[in-house]
């Protein structure tokens, strides 16, 4: 290398700009460690986790749905999952429901929204599920129930009894029907009507779920004593079912005793019939005279005068 202030020849320049040149040296960035999943005890919110193995996920033990229903509409989940599920971490869940620890098994995350997608993935052979971790949901039991319920209300495959059960749970967690109605964005009457469906007999709840019983009629039946509800419903289906007067009597009639002969009723004289009619009509004599003139001709009127013996 040339002395300070001197001139450098070409050879010395080449030697100084080889692999050790600060100009030509390639800087390799150190890789950043990206964890595919947060630690189980780390509260997170809004983190997207792609293809979380199904073994690390468990369906919401507090899901208001009794059944995931027909999953055929989700059969394409093996090729593409259009919408991620929403999950909370195991730690956040157990802070609210420590009694669920055995039900969670080895799962790291609880799927709050997307249980049908989780079931479809297991059924159709998808090994993992995309989820977004939102521990902010698990600030209270009521918030978790609201998150699970609000997604399902008004869905075609979410029947009204499941809806009623979810509403009842929310009333219990939020302390009153009014508070639950406010949280759900529904009227107090709607909440009251849904809760009333839980008073139906099991047979009527099944009919309601099957679509054989209208909600309006079900609300009316819920006001009937439990032991009388089924009979009331059957009667409304067939009003004549319990009407013995309209049913044919299969037993032959008993022979009737001959009746004693009765005296024939006395015949009513024609004049008396006219008198009865006049009394009912309260006819004024002037009106009667006008009627006579209209009804009878001159000869008949003279005959009437003669019969009255007015001369």
pLDDT at 293: 75
Residue with tokens 């100009």: 23
Tell me the helices (H) and strands (E) count for the chain, helix number first. 14, 5
259 or 115, greater pLDDT: 115
Instruction: Tell me the CATH number of domain 39-139, given options 2.40.50, 2.10.240, 3.40.50, 3.90.1530.
Output: 3.90.1530
pLDDT at 279: 67
| pLDDT-derived band at 176, boundaries 50, 70, 90 | very high
Distances (CA, A) of 125 to 84, 119, 208: 17, 10, 34
> pLDDT tens digits for 33-67?
334 444 445 556 889 999 999 999 999 998 877 77
Share of the chain above pLDDT 90, in %: 38
Most confident of 16-20, 25-29, 154-158, 164-168: 164-168
Q: Are 134 and 89 in contact (CB under 8 A)?
A: no
pLDDT at 90: 95
How many Å apart are CA 252 and CA 119, to the nearest integer? 64
CATH 1.10.10.2830, the chain: domain bounds: 159-242
Q: Find all residues with CB under 8 Å of 1, minimum gap 6, and list them.
A: 8, 12, 16
The predicted model gives 266-277 an average pLDDT of 66
Q: What is the DSSP letter of 37?
A: S
pLDDT at 286: 66
Instruction: Tell me the CATH number of domain 159-242, given options 1.10.3720.10, 1.10.10.10, 1.10.10.2830, 3.10.300.10.
Output: 1.10.10.2830
Cα–chain center distance at 48: 31
CATH 3.90.1530, the chain: domain bounds: 39-139
> pLDDT tens digits for 212-225?
998 889 999 999 99
Nearest to 134 by CA among 94, 84, 88: 88
pLDDT at 171: 92
The predicted model gives 133-151 an average pLDDT of 89
Distances (CA, A) of 109 to 61, 152, 162, 205, 274: 12, 20, 24, 33, 99
pTM of the predicted model, to two decimals?
0.56
Residue 16 has pLDDT above 80, yes or no: no
> pLDDT tens digits for 77-102?
999 998 999 999 999 999 999 999 99
Distances (CA, A) of 261 to 13, 162, 258, 264, 268: 153, 72, 9, 9, 21
> pLDDT tens digits for 158-171?
678 888 888 998 89
Q: Are 51 and 128 in contact (CB under 8 A)?
A: yes
159 or 286, greater pLDDT: 159
How many Å apart are CA 199 and CA 304, to the nearest integer? 80
Q: Are 49 and 130 in contact (CB under 8 A)?
A: yes
Range with lowest mean pLDDT among 1-10, 55-64, 181-190, 191-200: 1-10
Average pLDDT, the chain: 77
pLDDT at 39: 47
β-strand partners of 85: 131
pLDDT at 17: 41
β-strand partners of 132: 48, 86
């Amino acid at each position: 290398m040339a002395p300070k202030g001197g001139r450098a020849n070409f050879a010395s320049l080449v030697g100084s700009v080889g692999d050790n040149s600060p100009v030509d040296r390639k800087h390799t960035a150190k890789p950043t460690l990206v964890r595919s999943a947060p630690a189980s005890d780390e509260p997170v919110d809004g983190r997207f986790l792609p293809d979380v193995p199904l073994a690390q996920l468990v369906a919401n033990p507090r899901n208001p749905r009794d059944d995931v229903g027909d999953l055929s509409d989700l059969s394409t989940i093996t090729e593409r999952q259009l919408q991620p599920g929403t999950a909370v971490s195991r730690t956040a869940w157990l802070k609210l429901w420590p009694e669920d620890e055995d039900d969670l098994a080895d799962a790291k995350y609880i799927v709050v929204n997307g249980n049908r997608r989780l079931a479809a993935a297991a059924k159709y052979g998808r090994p993992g599920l995309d989820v977004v971790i939102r521990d902010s949901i698990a600030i209270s039991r009521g918030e978790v129930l609201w998150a699970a319920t609000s997604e399902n209300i008004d869905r075609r495959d979410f029947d009204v009894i499941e809806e009623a059960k979810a509403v009842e749970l929310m009333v219990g967690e939020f302390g009153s029907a009014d508070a639950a109605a406010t949280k759900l964005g529904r009227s107090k009457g709607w909440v009251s009507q849904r809760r009333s469906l839980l008073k139906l007999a099991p047979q009527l709840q099944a009919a309601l779920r099957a679509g054989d019983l209208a909600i309006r009629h079900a609300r009316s039946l819920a006001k009937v004593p439990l032991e009388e509800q089924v009979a009331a419903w059957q009667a409304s289906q067939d009003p004549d079912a319990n009407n013995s007067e309209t049913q044919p009597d299969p037993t032959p009639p008993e022979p009737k005793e001959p009746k004693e002969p009765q005296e024939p009723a006395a015949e009513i004289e024609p004049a008396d019939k006219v008198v009865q009619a006049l009394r009912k009509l309260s006819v004024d004599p002037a009106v009667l005279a006008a009627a006579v003139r209209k009804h009878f001709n001159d000869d008949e009127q003279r005959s009437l005068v003669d019969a009255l013996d007015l001369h």
